[in-house]
Amino acid sequence: MAANIPHTGQKRVVIIGAGFGGLKLARKLANSPYQVVLIDKNNYHQFQPLFYQVATAGLEPSSISFPLRKVFQGVKNIHIRVAEVLKIDAESNQIITSLGEISYDHLVLGIGCDTNYFGMDNIKKYAIPMKSVSEALALRNRLLQNFEDALVDENPDDIEGLLNIVVVGGGPTGVEVSGTLAEMKNQILPKDYPELDFSKMNIYLLEASPRTLNVMSDASANKSKQYLEKLGVIVKTATQVKDFDGKHVYLGDGSTIRTNNLIWAAGVIGNKIEGLSADIYIRGNRIKVDRYNKVEGYDNVFAIGDIAFMTEEKYPNGHPQVAQPAMQQADNLAYNLKAHIKNKKLKPFSYTNLGSMATVGRNLAVVEFPFYKFQGFIAWLVWMFVHLMSIVGVKNRLLIFINWCWNYFTYDQSLRLILKAKEK
């Protein structure tokens, strides 16, 4: 098997990863003098900020995913290959993939991050991650199947384990999934399962630091906690998870929580590809890059997004691992690649913080812009608008908007389907 990419005489830019950074870079280089090869293990771009809505049956997976080939229809200099990258051979300017070898003139790593279990093997084995559309769908299947199982189980301890949900990690993902689960418990599940007593269902949000939403201000953190508790979420800050055996969560203070369902949103760790020097990695497997996103020690290898560790005066510990730095770095790198081929001066990257936000539930959100902070209904509308405009594809935006409107007025999405692969 071979990648079968035509040789056009153009300088070739190979981009590994079609996340926010990789996709933005490829779009910026469309119809440029470069030949661009975009490689991803999936044939679609996935919108990570809304994974939790797939996991809680608020959206279908297809509405937050967009086919890569649809994005680049009619663009002759873009070549897409669905493959797994196995190794980088920097000396010969090649990458080894599941489709064979692919040469490059410039290599860009946009490989992102995966779930960080901090070396806890049991949690890796039993906890439920949410870093991809498929994992979000698996979580949806798991939660819905639990309610079906609880209907027919007569053991109170088993029922408690099936109904209780523990979310670990008080960042935006943990806050959003906890709030949405609480709304399901309050508004939807009692109608779907009238035979179950949902007063016995507890949703916990555990955070090791003293407050939720550490990346935001104290006012936003306090308001998010207030919103969650209003919805019925049991919020425990300054609480460390030590272990999970599939039935009990063991906490740092010696106490336990009975649950079969531990949703792990407590951290990320960079994905690694064999072949690069070990010296380029820092804590969390992030790759050291300069202000031009060039990987330390390499002339033609770049890294962007979550995987890239770049320091600025305002960001001595690197940029936040969210979409905006990835997209801004992609913009800047595209500019520099075009400037390089024309022998023009390159532009160093400087991050512009456009703000941060998180939604807790219906009419409940916190938003922080550099010039203004606010919470509540208006913040919730802003959160929806920003995320809607960030979705790839007009059809996807329309579908999500219709789903959100329907859910707002009916409290019910009717998307609670258990979809499992057929067993051979």
What's the per-residue H, E or C state across 291-306? CCCEECCCCCEEECHH
Report helix, strand or coil for 243.
strand
What's the per-residue H, E or C state across 22-88? HHHHHHHCCCCCCEEEEEECCCEEECHHHHHHHHCCCCCHHHHEEEHHHHCCCCCCEEEEECCEEEE
CB neighbour list of residue 351: distance below 8 Å, 6 or more residues apart: 312, 314, 315, 319, 324, 325, 328
CB neighbour list of residue 199: distance below 8 Å, 6 or more residues apart: none
Q: Please identify which of the residues 60, 176, 183, 207 carries the catalytic annotation.
A: 176
Q: What are 116's two structure tokens?
A: 């960080």
Calpha distance 370→180 (Å, rounded) = 27
User: What Cα–Cα distance (Å) separates residue 265 from each residue in 205, 212, 331?
Assistant: 10, 12, 29
Calpha distance 408→362 (Å, rounded) = 8
| Cα dihedral value 406, 171, 312, 283, nearest 10 | -130
Q: What is the DSSP letter of 138?
A: H
Query: Any catalytic annotation for residue 176?
Result: yes
- Residue 183's closest CA among 69, 290, 53, 294? 53
Catalytic residues: 176
